[in-house]
Amino acid sequence: MPLPTRTQVIIIGAGPAGLLLGQLLHKAGIEALIVERQSAAHVLGRIRAGVIEQTTADALTAAGVGERLHAEGLPHEGIALSVAGRRHRIDLAALTGGRHVTVYGQTEITRDLMAARSAAGLPTVHEAHDVSVHDFDGAAPRVRFTHEGTTHEVRGDFIAGCDGFHGVCRASVPATALRTFEKVYPFGWLGLLADVPPVSPELIYVRSPRGFALCSMRSPTRSRYYLQCPLDSQPGHWSDDAFWAELRLRLDPDTAAQLRTGPALEKSIAPLRSFVTEPMRFGRLFLAGDAAHIVPPTGAKGLNLAASDVSFLAHAFDAHYNAHSDEGLARYSERALARVWKAERFSWWFTSLMHGFPDATGFAERMQDAELAWLLESPAAQAALAENYVGLPLEMH
């Protein structure tokens, strides 16, 4: 397919945020070209989270890619907190008027979006090198890149930066126009994926004297487990047996007895950080997802925040092209950041509550203990956790 030299929206990044935006724009009759520096196989091979809020499920449905999510996704109406060797269930549905989350892997969402874009014959450039964005502070932004040895330049009305934390879009904004906020946590998560049945039908968040752990899943036969680990840890330093042995030590006795183990399909370590850049719009360049903000994975807000950004942005472009209103574009950053900061607060709080901090004082540890005791005793505190966990409303107006 020959590449266009002119389109309406140029999307940088073909991860789930960029692909979802492209699909929503297609449904609204808006042309978009997606430019991605990695191969399609690389994008699809990323192992990421899979706890989906209802607002994200609604966006995927609106994009026409919700069929497999609804057929194969696992609805979860509760989570468990394991503290001091005892499990405590948080009834998400009862505390939020029947709302829930759905477990469906980000890899599968990406696969569904790729398939829909391919079926519609929409243009995506993978393995685009030397990508650069230009003139987004004027009326005619453009993107340059090299693909298969040829340099291309595409002009558009707008550029959507969905290219992640290390992408070119935020890096192209003058430093004087940005304000950034960041907290780096003094530990990481060692994750292991295995084809073994989950130890529980619902996620278990574990606070242990040995460090945090999470028991999660991708399907009824595939599990994802995490261990808090030092920042200098390397996946290769952990054998499968060592991982399973350490996980057992952090679980309550009943859960440890039920744990099924097996060879790792994938093992990796992720650092934890909270990061936000303000604003999220610079002329005709709009940032979305990890290009604008990062949350620690505790509470699974990363993909869901990216989906809410994209929903705001798609709604704004739809209003611009089809209703001749630019209010959504003008207010995009304000609306997106209002939701971002609430999710940042929840992710920071949940991370601070459930992890061991190497530099914590005795007072700080007692405050953690008191916060957890209050949470486990107070229906009001549990309702606040549940409301944030299932996802806050998406305020379009």
pTM of this structure: 0.95
The reported pLDDT for the residue numbered 360 is 87
User: Per the residue annotation, which of 301, 315, 320, 355 is the catalytic one?
Assistant: 301
Strands 101-103 and 51-52: antiparallel
The reported pLDDT for the residue numbered 397 is 60
Average pLDDT estimate for 298-310? 95
How is the beta sheet containing 150-155 ordered, strand by strand?
A: 129-134, 142-147, 150-155
Q: Is 205 a catalytic residue?
A: yes
Strands 124-125 and 32-35: parallel
Q: Is 226 a catalytic residue?
A: no
Q: Of 175, 207, 389, 171, whose CA–CA distance to 290 is shortest?
A: 171
pLDDT tens digits for range 75-103: 999 999 999 999 999 999 999 999 999 99
The reported pLDDT for the residue numbered 247 is 98
The reported pLDDT for the residue numbered 89 is 97
pLDDT, averaged across the chain: 95
pLDDT tens digits for range 14-59: 999 999 999 999 999 999 999 999 999 999 887 677 899 999 999 9
The reported pLDDT for the residue numbered 45 is 81
Average pLDDT estimate for 282-301? 96
The reported pLDDT for the residue numbered 193 is 94
The pLDDT-based confidence of 159 (bands split at 50, 70, 90) is very high
User: Per the residue annotation, which of 104, 185, 225, 389 is the catalytic one?
Assistant: 389
Domains in the chain, CATH or no CATH each: 9-181+273-390 (3.50.50.60)
Q: Is 389 a catalytic residue?
A: yes
Rounded to whole angstroms, the Cα distance separating 94 from 101 reads 13
User: Per the residue annotation, which of 205, 225, 226, 332 is the catalytic one?
Assistant: 205
The pLDDT-based confidence of 396 (bands split at 50, 70, 90) is low
Q: Is 104 a catalytic residue?
A: no
Tell me how far apart the 2 most distant CA atoms of the chain are, in Å: 64
Residues 170 and 162: beta-carbon distance below 8 Å: no
Rg over CA atoms, the chain: 21
The reported pLDDT for the residue numbered 394 is 87
Q: Is 301 a catalytic residue?
A: yes
User: Per the residue annotation, which of 297, 320, 332, 355 is the catalytic one?
Assistant: 297
Rounded to whole angstroms, the Cα distance separating 143 from 140 reads 10
pLDDT tens digits for range 256-284: 999 999 999 999 999 999 999 999 999 99
Residues 215 and 225: beta-carbon distance below 8 Å: yes
User: Per the residue annotation, which of 76, 293, 315, 355 is the catalytic one?
Assistant: 76
The reported pLDDT for the residue numbered 338 is 96
What is the SS3 assignment for 41? helix
Going from the C-alpha of 93 to that of each of 100, 107, 197, 383, the distances in angstroms are: 6, 26, 24, 10
